[in-house]
A and B are shown apart, each in its own frame.
Chain A
Amino acid sequence: MGRSASSARRSLTRRELLRRTGRTAAGVAAGLAAANAGRWTGLETAWAAAPAPKTGGTLTISQSVDINTLHPWTGTLNVWKVIKTNIYDQLSYQDPVTLEFKPKLAKSFEWTDGNTGLLVTLPAGVRFHNGEALTAADVKFTLDSIRDPKVGSWLRGFIAPIMDVQVLDDTHLKIKTDTIENQLIPAFAYVDIVPRSQGTDLSRKTPVGSGPYRFVEWVPNDHVTLQRNPRYWNQAGAGYVDRIVLRPVTELQTRISQLLAGDVDLVYDFSLIEVPRLRADRRVELAVVPPVDQMFVMYLNMRKPPFNKVEMRQAMGWALDREGFIKNFMAGQGRVDNSPFTPKHWAFDPRTEHAYSYNPDQVGRLLEKAGYPKGQGLTFSLLTPAGYPEFTQISTLVQATFASIGYRPAIEEVDIGQWAARLNQSRDFHAAVDYPPRGSADPALTYAAGLLFPPNAANICGLTPEAIPGYVAALHRGATTLARPARSVAYFSVQELWLQSLPGPIFCHRSTAHAALPSVKGFVPHPAFQQSFAGVWLAH
């Protein structure tokens, strides 16, 4: 990404961008909705298009759970991502409508040194909430800290290709790599820049960032309060509302009631099953984000029978009635897919579109081929976490398909802590549904840090390079080549190889839904939860 291009982009203020984004969002959504009629609904209201924003007021937002840490680099919950996106600045951000990654705190990114160094230029005059100046040294401190395994950041894998970070002066730094690494700029959207004076033991400290809102307090199980940063370095991106109060409310019906009663202004991310009901309610406005980022995947443990056999993994690809699931359990707010990407994404391979669908007869044939005729001798279970109804619903539909053939796998419902430990640590599972994110990101990041297969070190399924010859090489080509056509070819190859071996079937993408009072203006929902509220204002 060159300097001139980014400076041209900078001539458009963020505020103008948000306004235009809102209009574009409505337009794009309407167009896509028409193109995918019956499959999903786009943004339904042009909230961002309202004129003459007002300042002041308190925006009260309901979230589904409480945060569990104040550490910007270790907390993984979406609710925390939403909050910290407003407290901290990140070098880049993903445009919520075009889904492209663009500079945010950084003025520009430029590959130099024969494509082994990424030059990052920062603006001058940026200050943290504690008054300290934000310089290249703080960015270096942040990146180096995340790379340190002792810090315990889940983002370590995101920026793993970094070999060294060199500070050139206060506003320039160079990030050294072995070669071009396409995952880095998208990964920077997740990296919150922290003052080096704070050290790395950040979970014990009040968060100090440089974002449009500063942290005020966290009362566990009750609320998090943010206050507008009046000295935000980028006035065009400064917030409108004075305070943001985010309340964790676990009960879905209570969340919706709070909105209908006017006790909260915005319900952020609620169950899709409530979409038809709220769409019909004139007291609220609804935003359904197109299904582009989060996808439903079934992890299959390749380390042991029966999923060490490719026929069994392929059988799982044919076992789910995806259309039925989307229609009956997600109120139609999803899209059937076999790829991490959707047709809107440049890396989407159209040949994946109908690779697997619902076909119980095919499941029966593959079982026979795998040595389990009519399910005889077959033993496996489906592991699901309690509190995630969609996971259980998928597991139940798959269970029904196998039962129709002759074997009924058990569904093991355990709490989320046990589920995570069995997937990541003891590997004590056969098959498990998950909904990993980043289907809308750059494929280099999607594969490195979205899906939990190699090159992601989590490697839940136990996939080895030998299991899919050519797969790792194609991934590497895609991640280290700049030319988009060459990258498309590489990622098409990745998707096709994946579908042949099928370490984990990708079933579909899901939408996300938000609802607000009509007085909430300027809200542009982010498909990957990098949610900024800086453009939101209250009309009353």
Chain B
Amino acid sequence: MTKYLIWRSLSVIPTLIGVSILVFLVTYFIPGDPAQILAGTEATPDVVAGLRHQWGLDRPIYVRYALWAANAARGNLGESYFSHMTVLQLVATASRVTVELALLALLVAVAIAVPAGIISAVRPGSWFDLTATAVGFGGLSIPGFWLGIMLIYVFSVYLRWLPAGGFTPLASGLVPNLRSMILPAIALGTFASTQFMRYLRASMLEVLGADFTRTARAKGLTEPIVLVRHAMRNALIPFVTVLGVQMGYLLGGTVITESVFALPGIGRLVLNAILNRDYQVATGIVLLIATAFVLVNLVVDLLYPVLDPRVRLGRPTTSP
């Protein structure tokens, strides 16, 4: 067991080195040059060359990688060529916005999906079920940016209830913060809610037709108790797993929402870094994300032996 833990932990190191080389090479081979972008088309060639030298971009690729990797190993992912803020500083600031947006979007999605999914399953074929299904398909078909712009027109321009984009940090108060995040959360959460709703409806229908539900009804339990204590509890178990997976998608899918609502999150940070060829920021963020995935996988792998003794004992987990 100890041997497995040590071996699995050490295996992360070559993976991370491989990822870092890949990420570094990909950014290196994208055509373009941060020095040219900063200096602009009017700069003389010696000025661009001066900037390239100043930033070390005129060094061989292996030297640049070695320097960057050595710093990264010490937790220093470098700084932006443009803003000169450290990558960790930029990520720390932007991730607050993105994580809050993703969590609120998840909340919106669940708030819509759970009642809609359950009612649709309990009354299959009813007007509510048909309407919810139609709205659900509509929600899946509507592009996020269009929905965002429509929400802004209705709630900001015409009703003037909420701000039309921009971020108010939590430090300025919970209400102003939530006011700035409601529309983006709805725009991002609506798409996820339709998927959740369809999944929960199917899951509930399966559970409602299961033997244990029939047994519960046969025991004389009231329908609400059957629904809440027996059906919902069982249907929500796979649903929670889906929520976890979707949270990852929500975190990764904020780029468009952040652009439409002018939110200073990770999505816009990465996009701008790539467009500006801000190699340090782009590479740093991608590496951080990759590291997070590798570490999560490591934790999961380390938990397997705890959860499944067959892994611990080195036995096959499936029948031949």
Contacts and interface: CB of A to CB of B under 8 A. Distances in A.
B262 A421 contact: no
Contact of B152 (A69, A150, A222, A257): A257
Contacts of A203: 82-84
A423 interface: yes
A425 interface: yes
Interface residues of A, number: 56
A253 B53 CA distance: 40
Interface in B20-51: 30-51
A415 B156 contact: no
A420 B165 contact: no
A75 B42 contact: no
A154 interface: yes
B47 A153 contact: yes
Contacts of B272: 66, 68, 220-221
A84 to B, nearest CB: 14
A55 interface: no
Given A70-B83, A251-B259, A424-B36, A154 B90 contact: no
Contacts of B233: none
B163 interface: yes
Given A68-B38, A70-B83, A258 B166 contact: yes
A221 B269 contact: yes
Contact of A263 (B31, B149, B156, B265): B156
A251 B151 CA distance: 14
Interface in B208-260: 259-260
Given A203-B84, A261-B160, A421-B31, A452 B42 contact: yes
B51 A257 contact: no
A328 to B, nearest CB: 23
Interface centre among B31, B46, B51, B269 (most CB of A within 10 A): B31
4 shortest interchain CB distances as A-B pairs: A417-B32, A76-B40, A221-B264, A222-B264
Given A251-B165, A263-B156, 14 more contacts: A75-B38, A154-B47, A157-B44, A203-B82, A221-B264, A251-B259, A258-B165, A417-B34, A420-B32, A421-B33, A424-B36, A424-B45, A458-B42, A458-B45
Interface of A: 66, 68-70, 74-76, 149-154, 156-157, 203-204, 218-222, 247-251, 253-254, 257-258, 260-263, 414-418, 420-426, 434, 436, 449-450, 452, 456-458, 460
Interface of B: 30-51, 53-54, 82-85, 90, 93-94, 145, 149, 152-153, 156-157, 160, 163-167, 259-262, 264-265, 268-269, 272, 275-277
5 contacts: A149-B49, A152-B48, A251-B149, A261-B163, A417-B31
